[in-house]
Amino acid sequence: SGHYPLALLSYRVVSSNSSSIEVQGNITVIKPAVIELGNLTAGEKGNYTAVAEIAVNSSGWFKIELNDEVLHGVFSHFMAKITIGNETVTLAEGGKGKGHDSAVIHLNKGIYNVTIVIYYIVSPHPENRTVTNAPLLIIKPADHHGDEGEEQD
């Protein structure tokens, strides 16, 4: 149980983030991706690429989840393309009521660079929000292929 950030999102406020090591079960996030969008204006479009580093301590299924709570009221479109080894998954903000978009992938033991590309459009009337180093993507062990896990806040 618990959430371990694979990518951290910041916008509006520029901040520095020291690398941290988070351990859960059989995966370690050695260095989370730091996504600094800076100041956002209504209707702005953009993309951003960042790299995380993870260590898979034993092979298995892992769930990657988009924490869209940090996006609500700000973006009309937000998509994250995540590449780990030869696996690529795309997660998008689901809008109200859909819950967190997630994907389950199989990873063998080893150290991986994780490339994260986000594509976004700021909504025409965004809420006035400041987010600093909020967990955007979460990775955790999944019991088996397709496991949804329990919904956690």
* Residue 150 in this model has a pLDDT that exceeds 60: no
Higher pLDDT, 48 or 99: 48
Q: What is the DSSP letter of 87?
A: E
Q: Mean pLDDT throughout 73-97? A: 87
**pLDDT digits 0-9 by tens, 16-49:** 344 444 555 588 888 899 999 999 999 999 999 9
pLDDT at site 16: 36
Question: What's the token pair of residue 88?
Answer: 């690529």
* Residue 151 in this model has a pLDDT that exceeds 50: no
pLDDT at site 149: 44
pLDDT at site 15: 30
**Residues near 29 by beta carbon (within 8 Å), at least 6 away in sequence:** 4, 5, 6, 20, 21, 22, 52, 53, 54, 139
* Residue 78 in this model has a pLDDT that exceeds 60: yes
**CA dist., res. 26 & res. 3, Å (int):** 14
Higher pLDDT, 127 or 100: 127
**CA dist., res. 6 & res. 127, Å (int):** 25
